[in-house]
Amino acid sequence: MTALLRIMALWRPRFGWLAAGVIVSLAALGAGVALMVQSGALVAGVLLGAGMAAPALALRVLGPARVVLRYLERLTTHDALFRALADLRVWFFRGLSARAAGGLGFRRAGDVLARLVGDVEALDGLYLRTLVPLAGAVVLLPALLLLIGRSDPWLAAEVGVLFAAAAFVLPWLAGRAALAAGGRLAAAQSGLRVAALDTLTGLREVRAYGAEGRMMALVQAREAALLSAQHELAGRGALAGAAAFLCGQAAVLAVLLAAGSHPGTAAMLAFLTVAAFEAVAGLPRAGALAGHAATAAARVVEAAEGPVPVPEPAAPAAPPKGSSLKFEAVRFRWQPDRALVLDGLTLDIPQGARVAVLGPSGAGKSTLAALALKVAAPQEGRVLLGGTDIATLAAADVRGRIAWLSQATHLFDDTIRANLLLGRPDAAEPDLWAALESARVAEVVRALPEGLDTYVGEAGGRFSGGQGRRLALARALLSTAPVLILDEPCAGLDAETERDFFTTLNTAAEGRTILLIAHRLTGAERLDRIWRLSAGRAVAAAG
């Protein structure tokens, strides 16, 4: 319930739309119930040979009114829900980005996708299938007691108890019983997405090793688990729905048995009872689905509001003017149960200097970039930017002064222009071309029929590795940040392309503070100092 209440609290800005949907829904419900009552009156009039003018006139008015109100209900409630879900996705993404600025870390992409898509979609039933019909049930119960009680108070009590069981007790019991099934369903959906995404992203390796059958078997096993969880949840919903149906039939039978010498009144009350129970017929199934919604809400809230790796300072210091970068006696580990990556590391990179840090995989080279960009914080020691401890700076100010180019730099499936503007959204077209010229890839772009508006393809698939890396360099150079961190920028490139890349960089990054993180050097780099990482510390190498 805590997670569900948190989700509903996030919908507060859309309260007007959501409330309007409920009001229109209640109006449509009222028109439908009134239509059934007047239909009962018409039938009673026929049975008793009485006049039928009033009920017939009411039917002519209520029939079209119900149709119009039902349409407006669908229009209003779905519009309100779509707005609320859009807000929820934006909130989720912002929360996730604040907690995963350095990447997903120990999260799996398929699981995050399941939360962003499947779990958020599961919450649509919270409003449409639960809150809206529940509001109708709350209004219908006293109306039933009042209308039936005028003729027979004991019958009103009997029908009221059956209605309360169908509208409130059975949904609650179904929700409690379905909590575990909802958890298994959410986990199964996540597992299927993880398996499918892993298979698709690793399709080349799967084909190369002839593992199509094994990977397909894994996906099918996860799909079977999902179908089993869905079947279990649907079974619980069907059972609750059947119980609610029996309550409705028992209520109608009670009304008919109590007819006695008043068949006209009995016909009206029977029609009223049928309409009331039909209006809440979906609530028991909604209660069963609430178990899934509760689990989905908990997963969404956990991902979006989990601990922030590096909290923002209460009163951020002013952005520094200098561009020196210094690590002072830094000790850091990624998880409490993991070994130290950096153990008392001290490293000084003066303003305008070009420094390389070398070391084998796992030595902590990329950790330096994470600490400098404030996506992780040292357990001991300090990181200084322009002489200011970055712990006292806002993350946006730190990242506004540091441009980063990594071995896995991502090109989005968008235009060249859009990819470049990620580095500086306000850049004019001449600035874009200047960055491309600096990265020595302008001629490649000019030769394209659509120029800057050419789509790069998924992960930059329309370009070679070297061209894609130069586009990423152009994006980094477009930034006005005075510090440039290069984390294995040439990983996966051949030796000649790597030398050409650094020859370009030597000129393009003139005047900036450069931190180059690499396994080895090619000889084309222009450097002032070289350090090697060993046992979590920086050791000076040959200059």
pLDDT tens profile 14-27: 888 888 888 998 88
> pLDDT band at 47, cuts 50/70/90?
low
Q: Is residue 161 scored above 90 in pLDDT?
A: yes
42 C-beta neighbours (distance < 10 Å), count: 19
pTM: 0.66
Q: Using an 8 Å Cβ cutoff, are 25 and 73 in contact?
A: yes
Q: Which two tokens stand for residue 68?
A: 């119009």
What pLDDT sits at residue 106? Answer: 46
From the list 28, 9, 12, the residue with the least C-alpha distance to 76 is 28
pLDDT value, residue 114 = 65
Nearest to 330 by CA among 340, 341, 344, 349: 344
The larger pLDDT score, comparing residue 513 to residue 262, is at: 513
Domains with residue ranges and CATH for the chain: 2-304 (1.20.1560.10), 325-540 (3.40.50.300)
Lowest mean pLDDT, pick from 23-32, 177-186, 188-197, 345-354? 177-186
Instruction: Give DSSP secondary structure letters for 53-89.
Output: HHHHHHHHHHHHHHHHHHHHHHHHHHHHHHHHHHHHH
Residue 139: strand, helix, or coil: helix
What is the share, in percent, of the chain residues with pLDDT greater than 90? 3
Confidence check: pLDDT of 100 > 70: no
pLDDT band at 54 (very low <50, low <70, confident <90, very high): low
Query: What pLDDT was estimated at residue 262?
Result: 65
- Distance CA(77)–CA(23), nearest Å, equals 10
Q: Within a 10 A sphere around the Cβ of 178, how many other Cβ atoms?
A: 27
At 250 the pLDDT is: 92
Give the Cα separation of 239 and 541 in Å (integer).
73
Is residue 542 over pLDDT 70? no
Q: pLDDT of 440-462, one tens digit each? A: 888 888 888 888 888 888 777 78
Instruction: Describe the strand order of the beta sheet including 483-487 as a list of residue ranges.
Output: 402-406, 483-487, 513-518, 354-358, 529-534, 537-540
Q: Per residue in 311-370, pLDDT tens? A: 788 888 888 888 888 999 999 888 787 888 888 889 888 888 888 888 877 777 788 888
**Residues 125-154, mean pLDDT to the nearest whole number:** 85
Kindly report, residue by residue over 285-324, the tens digit of the pLDDT. Answer: 887 777 777 777 877 777 777 677 777 888 888 888 888 8
Mean predicted lDDT score pLDDT of the chain? 81
Written as six digits, the tokens of 62 are: 């209520």
pLDDT in the model for residue 104: 47
Chain CA centroid to CA 114, Å: 8
Element (H, E) at 327: strand 325-332
Collapsing DSSP states into helix, strand and coil, what is residue 515? strand
